[in-house]
Chain A
Amino acid sequence: MNDALMIRPVLFSSLRLMVVLAALLGLVYPFVTTTLGGALFPFQAGGSVLHDSQGRAVGSALVGQSFEGAQYFHGRPSAVGNDPVSVGGSNLAPGNVALRERAQQEAERLAARDGLIIGEIPVELLAASGSGVDPHISPAAARVQAARVSQARGLSLESVMQAIAAATEYTGFPGAPVVNVLRLNLALAAMSPAEARQEMR
């Protein structure tokens, strides 16, 4: 056993060890794993990008988008305008007046837009998500928007309800059923001849 605590040999061997380990853990490991993952699961590894009927990349199945038009289902409130580069939640505490005011305004907007009854609104339509890009709403929150969307698109309420059911994910275990808003809107766009023409321009 070496008794004296000599800094210099420790420094040199640590430095060499660091270089070797950083190369193994910080370059070889991510390279091998990323290459394997990309080869086995190319769609997921590339960000789960969805395309419309014309083949344009319109978004990621995992990333929520902002919708305002009446012909679209709308997602949850986002503290960052659904921008995946500046992801984040509101970080407002339950007792913060700013949160109460935001919820109040949102509730009134929803009441005016879809005729929702204040006091019975699905809570995720008032509460901002943690990521700011939550792609889902509950089936209940989708159903309350169905009348508006079917009217705006000239589709039967029944076919819109069917589209909601088709865009519902995680119906098994683990998880609880949720509706992917982007997938739902994409499916509806493909169903509505009016909009397909509009997009051709």
Chain B
Amino acid sequence: MNEVILCYALVLGLAFPLGIYMARALDDERESRIDRLFRPIEAVIYRLAGVNETRVMRWPAYALAVVVLHLLLIALAWGVFMAQGVLPLNPDGIAGMSWDTALHTAVSFATNTNQQHYSGQAQLSYLSQTFAIVTLQFITPATGLAVLLAIARVLLKKRAAPVAEATGQSVGVGNYYRDLVRTLVRILLPLAMVVALLLTWQGMPSTWQGAQTVAPLDQSVATTQQIPLGPVASMVAIKQLGTNGGGWYGPNSTVPLENPTPLSNLIETVSLLLIPVALLVAMAVFTGRRRLMAGIGGVMLAFSLISTSVLIASERLPNAAFEGLAAVGSANLEGKELRFGPEMSALWASWTTQTSNGSVNAMHDSLNPMGGMVTLMDMFINVTFGGIGVGLIGYLLYLMLAAFIGSLMIGRAPELMGRALETREMRRISLAILAQPLVILGLTALTVAVPGLVGTSNPTFHGLSQVLYEYTSAFANNGSGFEGLGDGTPWWNLTCVVALLIGRFVPMLVPLAVAAWLAGKRMAPAGRGTLAMDSGAFVGLTAGVIVIINLLGFLPVLVLGPIAEQLTLGY
């Protein structure tokens, strides 16, 4: 328990200095020492790439720049995965991937999801793991943060930015390339290098050599053991920091080579939540709206603590399968590593599903039913800190809905930050929110309707949970799974690609468009009857909207899955 409390304390403690640094590093209006340090490196990147980083983009140009770069990245990664057998950096002689698994993997990593329908240590070359995957693990969180910056600039910043004023009706939101490169060079790269070295110190492989062959002690069982190695630490650092989650080895950070000690587990756990929390601080400084961000952070922290408490309680309970066999009162250790124990495994499961990270240090398929349900709830909500950038953007989407409902409740014309919320905005906001249950429940229903497609490894209610979890994880851009599912088929690969793309780009780009439209409207001065967004009542209303929307969408299917499963276990 002390470790769980320490993890929360470390994240909250580190989030403040990091958040303040991030706000200064990303603010392009004020010159700072950070600029002088990093600008020469960035200048080389801009020159080599031939991009104009000073041109201010309107939202369609910004969104187009995001989409085009990501389509190209998908094509590059898809090609590398299929051709890895003949490309360099492949000491273990691994063959190319099938076209459908390669496509799913490319899209999965290009959407910050990192859902894996393969096992990395056996199916990816070192080139695929670094050149294709690590690249995406850096660019995707930086993109989430870039889009959040664009929204914050035009909608949230207290003093309207000059970019917004200069253009009148249609506002400029910033330059995607500059936001992207600054995030990469000033925040993600330095942090990842430090974490990678700490993890190597704790025992994580860091080599370009191929698998080591050893002769095990008990030669009567096996005469050789192959130990897959690689430049693991450099990947795991950004996997944890960038809300990515896709690991080097199939079972991710359960594997001792990917999470060697209790201390490495502590480092990886803190890395998992650090940037999403620091972003709240960064946005408070960047926009000047400290009370608003404190309110948002409070709701997120409350959701997080509830989820973590239930998960810890669930995993401290015995696993029903060992009743009467194991010592009385044993925790559920099926699928868990002994060096972490039930509590640190539960904490990880809680944080990884809140933040759309999706790495695991225990197998979620073997969680007790209530624990499994909490991981699903975390991914439905998906804004408990959430993925880098997109977590706050998703919260903003709920905030817009809450502002609409709240304004109507007090008899005012709906408005947000002094700008009128009208039909055009509300239609897009509703669509972005409704896309989630439509895609997840639609694909789940379709898949369970055709028994030949499902590939579940557990019977009855838990089988339904496995299917539901996979699509929920894809849409939430989480990437964790109930991994018993046989998901390496064209059906699973292609349907997940649909969920991945919609789940990434709709909830990210719709708020960008809405923010730009709102920013172009005339601003009404705040009066006595204005909805105060930083009031306790409004913070509570937003939290209520989040809970109600998700329960309306998903309570029925939760009853059919984990709740029914719990009832059949009979306690």
Contacts and interface: CB of A to CB of B under 8 A. Distances in A.
B131 A27 contact: yes
Interface string A122-158: 1110111111111111100000000000000000000
Contact of B2 (A20, A92, A173): A173
B192 A29 contact: yes
B339 A37 contact: no
Interface in A100-140: 100, 103-104, 107, 118-124, 126-138
A127 B336 contact: yes
Interface string B406-430: 0000000000000000000000000
A178 interface: yes
Nearest to A71: B218
A178 to B, nearest CB: 5
Interface string B327-361: 11011111111110100000000000000000011
Nearest to A170: B262
Contact of A94 (B212, B226, B321): B321
B202 A30 contact: no
Contacts of B3: 173-174
Contact of B327 (A12, A26, A122, A130): A122
Interface stretch (B16-24, B282-290, B365-373): B365-373
Contacts of A22: 76, 131, 135
A87 B249 contact: yes
Given A13-B49, A99-B321, A56 B333 contact: no
B428 to A, nearest CB: 19
B218 A174 contact: no
A24 interface: yes
B338 A137 contact: yes
Interface stretch (B30-38, B61-69, B378-386, B446-454): B61-69
Contacts of B335: 89-91, 127-130
Interface residues of B, number: 127
A189 interface: yes
Given A13-B49, A41-B206, A44-B201, A96 B235 contact: no
Contacts of A94: 319-321, 332, 334, 366, 368-369, 569
A37 to B, nearest CB: 3
Given A40-B197, A121-B327, A34 B250 contact: no
A60 to B, nearest CB: 5
Interface string B203-246: 11111110111111110111001111101011101000000000
A118 B333 contact: no
Contacts of A72: 217-218
Interface in B175-191: 177, 181, 184, 189
Contacts of B204: 37, 44-45
Mostly, the B contact residues are mixed
Given A91-B482, A175-B263, A5 B217 contact: no
A167 interface: no
Given A91-B365, A174-B3, A29 B200 contact: no
Interface in A45-63: 45-49, 52, 56-63
Given A30-B134, A92-B365, A126-B326, A14 B72 contact: yes
Contact of A24 (B45, B231, B569): B45
B525 interface: no
A85 B211 contact: yes
A73 to B, nearest CB: 10
Contacts of A76: 338
B214 A1 contact: no
Contact of B48 (A16, A66, A135): A16
B325 A104 contact: yes
A172 to B, nearest CB: 9
A89 B254 contact: yes
B60 A84 contact: no
Given A33-B233, A123-B331, 17 more contacts: A12-B50, A14-B65, A26-B134, A30-B130, A33-B237, A37-B200, A49-B227, A59-B217, A90-B363, A91-B365, A91-B484, A92-B365, A104-B325, A118-B324, A134-B337, A135-B256, A173-B3
Which 8 residue pairs of A and B lie closest in terms of their CB atoms, listed nearest first?
Answer: A175-B262, A91-B484, A130-B254, A37-B206, A123-B330, A37-B200, A26-B135, A26-B131
